[in-house]
Amino acid sequence: MTAVSTSPDVSAEAPVAASNPRPSRAKVLLPVLMGVALTAGGGLWLTGRGKESTDDAQVEGHVANVSPRVSGQVKHVLVQDNQTVKLGDVLVELDDRDYQARVNAARADLAAANASERAAETQLAVTQKTVDSGLAVAKGGITQAYAQGTTSLATIEQSRADVAAADSRRTLAKIELDRSEKLLADHAIAQADYDARKATFDQADAALAQARARLAGAEAGVTNSQGTLEAARGHLISAQAGPEQIEAARAQVELAKARVDQAQAALDQAELNLSYTKIRAESDGVVARRTVELGQLVSPDRPLLAIVALDDTWVVANFKEDQLAEMKPGQSVKLSVDTFGGRAFTGHVDSIAAGTGARFSLLPPDNASGNFTKVVQRVPVLVRLDEHPGATLRPGMSADVTVYTK
């Protein structure tokens, strides 16, 4: 008897299974994942199109280091850390006694220089008057000497004429006397007539001697007048050197004025140094990094403190170099500062740096000196913020910046 098999007919069921296969899970999930990825990528592309973002950004501001203009010992420290100060407020006072003494000495030097200037001006006036009077006297002496010379020559001529006349009268008297002697010897005339002739001759002889003496005196007068003329000419030459004397006196006045200016400049510098003993704030802000203490010896080469101007801040965002292709000044910016959480700030691109940050570092890279590894560089971009009341931004705070390039 043949046994009947109860196993299922595999060959009969195989076609049924082949005609209704179950779909694979991978084949179902793969299109879904691809769709999600494409959707997400498209969304990211659409949302990121036309803007560039970076989280490498910090708030910056003016940090003014305050140093003394002169050296000295600190007498008073009038501010504390984080104190708000205004322009012109006194921050630190130095001991000013040495500088006050220098001011007093400079004032004394200025007074002496002013006195020297007045003395020089007085000497100039005296020299001008002396020169003018000396020149007038010299010219008068020349005129007088010429007049004396002319008078002496006339006197000589007159004296020579007088000598000639006196000589003629003596000669005539001699002739009369000789005739009278002969007549007296012949007893032709009386003794009285002879005596009269003798007296006439003696008078004529005396008159001739006097005339000759006057002639000698006149000739001596001419010699004296020539000496007087030469002396007058010497005085005139000396007086004509007066302009040089006046110029020398004027030079002394100019020198005195220069010394006055020099003394005034020294006084101004001394007063400036005295004013520098009070160290004042050059701007509004908040005191930071105070290192000065009472009694400390300070000098201009070391800052005492810093003043941070919180009313003038900006953001420096360091963008990658491949983000700058379409970035330019004036584009709008949105940013957030970590300190203020989700608060959004607005602003605009003010300027873009002329080089990368690495190029201006203390030790810029030299890619030609060895092995080269390309590193994406970052370029600082300065962002100016719009009005942001109620939020005080402090230099150094971190920020996320987004620039809308389109």
How does DSSP assign 316-351, residue by residue?
A: EEEEEGGG-TT--TT-EEEEEEGGGTT-EEEEEEEE
Minimum mean pLDDT among 92-96, 220-224, 371-375: which range? 220-224
Residue 180's pLDDT band (boundaries 50, 70, 90)?
confident
pLDDT at 153 over 80: no
pLDDT at 246 over 50: yes
At 53 the pLDDT is: 93
The answer to whether domain 52-94+287-404 has CATH 2.40.30.170 is: yes
Tell me 7's DSSP state: S
Tell me the range of 16-25, 116-125, 170-179, 238-247 where mean pLDDT is highest: 116-125
**Chain segment 74-102, per-residue pLDDT in tens:** 999 999 999 999 999 999 999 999 999 99
| 186 vs 247, residue with greater confidence | 247
SS3 of 242, please? helix
**Chain segment 256-281, per-residue pLDDT in tens:** 999 999 999 999 999 999 999 999 99
How many angstroms separate the CA atoms of 261 and 249, rounded? 19
How many angstroms separate the CA atoms of 304 and 73, rounded? 12
Residue 29's pLDDT band (boundaries 50, 70, 90)?
confident
Residue 337 and residue 59 in contact, taking contact as beta carbons nearer than 8 Å: yes
Residue 338 and residue 399 in contact, taking contact as beta carbons nearer than 8 Å: yes
| 387 vs 202, residue with greater confidence | 387
Residue 8's pLDDT band (boundaries 50, 70, 90)?
very low
Domain boundaries, the chain: 52-94+287-404, 100-262
**Chain segment 88-144, per-residue pLDDT in tens:** 999 999 999 999 999 999 999 999 999 999 999 998 888 888 777 766 666 666 676
How many angstroms separate the CA atoms of 352 and 322, rounded? 14
